[in-house]
Structure 1
C-alpha cells in the first residue's frame, strides 16, 4: 500500500463517510472512512469530478441495489 496522507472524513447526512488522501507522487485517493485499505485512485481532477457528480446526484447508478 502506498504511503497515503488521509484528510479528515467527510460525512453527509444519512450516508457513509468518505476520506480523501494523497501520496508523495501526487496521486489522489478516495475511500470509505474506516476502510482505507480499499480505495479508488486516480488523478486529482478525475476524483474531484467524481465528487462533484455524486453531490449533484448524477452517480446514483454506482450504488448497489
Structure 2
C-alpha cells in the first residue's frame, strides 16, 4: 500500500491519535488510526456519512461514558 493513498484528517493535531482516510473507489472508504496503522476499517460512503451525522448530533455521546 502506498503511503500517498492516505489523507490525514484536518481535525487531527500533530502527534498521536491521527485519523487517516483513503478512498479505494466510489464505493469503498478505508479508515485507520496513527497508533495502529495496520488496523484498517472499511466502510462505504453512506454508512460513514450516517456515522458522522450521528456523532455530530450527539447520538453517540453515551458510548464515551463508563
> TM-score, normalised to structure 2's length?
0.57
Q: Which residue of 2 aligns with 1:59?
A: 60
Rg larger for: 2
Unmatched runs of 5 consecutive residues or more in structure 2? none
Unmatched runs of 5 consecutive residues or more in structure 1? none
Superposition CA RMSD, Å? 2.9
The change in CA–CA distance for 1:22 and 1:59 in structure 2 (over 3 A counts) is same
> TM-score, normalised to structure 1's length?
0.57
Structure with the largest fraction of helix? 2
Name the count of aligned residue pairs: 60
Q: How far apart are residue 36 of structure 1 and its match?
A: 2.5
Structure-to-structure mapping, 1:1-65, within 5 angstroms:
3=1, 5-9=5-9, 10-11=11-12, 16-24=17-25, 26-63=27-64, 65=66
After superposing on structure 2, the runs of 4+ consecutive aligned residues of structure 1 that deviate more than 3 Å are 61-65
